[in-house]
Amino acid sequence: MLDISDIQTALPTVIIALLLGYLCGSIPFGLIFSKMAGLGDIRNIGSGNIGATNVLRTGNKKIAASVLIADFLKGAIPVAIVGQFGAEPAMAAGFGAFIGHLYPIWLKFKGGKGIATYIGVLFGLVPIAILIFAVVWLSVAFIFRYSSLAAICAAIVMPVALYLLGYPNFALLFSLISAIAIAKHHANIRRLLSGTESKIGSKG
């Protein structure tokens, strides 16, 4: 039976975990690294996104890779730190990190689409699950050459995969995160339907 006292005891930890995750996730590494590399404001390039895919459009693969790793870690590290206090705080930290990347307070709540951070959170909670994400992403990307479509397909698969792996709570969390991630790709979806979406390797 659900114990109200247990909820009251855990709630402060969950709230702190959520805030910690949000603050970590809201660090705009794409903007910081691109400016440090002399690439200017990444928001004025390509899609205007602060994520690694848009940074890659500058032609600087090293900076794009650095952004990818940093955005991954800002999802994985809060989960790893808070995870010692239980699954619920870890889930809260992961959700906070993902939302922080999408809506960073430092950039007037205008952030990226969160896929690298999504993968970082996934790794922090269920490391083996990123292999499934990778297989889906790589397969779709190889066949269709669209990064956005690959990310959308992987996001659709992950909640089901987590449920089948025996993590129903994580599956529920990623149902929400995936829905948000797909919604953030609304412009990509429109371009995919119209045939104007940029393919992998394109600078457009």
pLDDT of 2 higher than 60: no
Give me the count of residues in the chain: 204
Give the whole-angstrom CA distance, residue 103 versus residue 125.
Answer: 22
Kindly state the tokens that stand for 44: 């004025």
Residue at token pair 């602060």: 50
What confidence tier does 202 reach under pLDDT thresholds 50, 70, 90? low
The pLDDT of residue 54 is: 86
Say whether pLDDT at 185 is over 70: yes
Stronger pLDDT, 204 or 55, i.e. the higher one: 55
pLDDT digits (tens, 9 = 90+) for 22-76: 999 999 999 999 999 998 899 988 778 899 888 888 889 999 999 999 999 999 9
Query: What is the rounded distance in angstroms from the CA atom of residue 103 to the CA atom of residue 83?
Result: 23
Locate all alpha helices (DSSP H) within 83-167, ordered by sequence: 87-102, 115-125, 129-144, 147-164
Averaged pLDDT, 71-91:
95
Residue 117 corresponds to which tokens in the numbers above? 């951070």
Per-residue pLDDT at 4 exceeds 50: no
Q: Taking Cα atoms as reference points, which of 122, 36, 35 lies closest to residue 71?
A: 122
| C-alpha radius of gyration, the chain, whole number | 17
Among 84-88, 118-122, 129-133, the least confident range: 84-88
Between residues 126 and 45, which one has the greater pLDDT? 126
Q: Which two tokens mark 27?
A: 């660090």
User: Where exactly are the structural domains of the chain?
Assistant: 4-194
Q: Give buried/exposed letters for 69-89 (b at 16+ CB in 10 A, else e).
A: ebbbbbbbbbbbbbbebeebb
- pLDDT at site 11: 83
What whole-number percentage of the chain has pLDDT above 90?
80
Give the dihedral sign, CA 143/145/146/152: positive
Q: What is the pTM of this model?
A: 0.92
The structure tokens listed for 32 are 């910081």
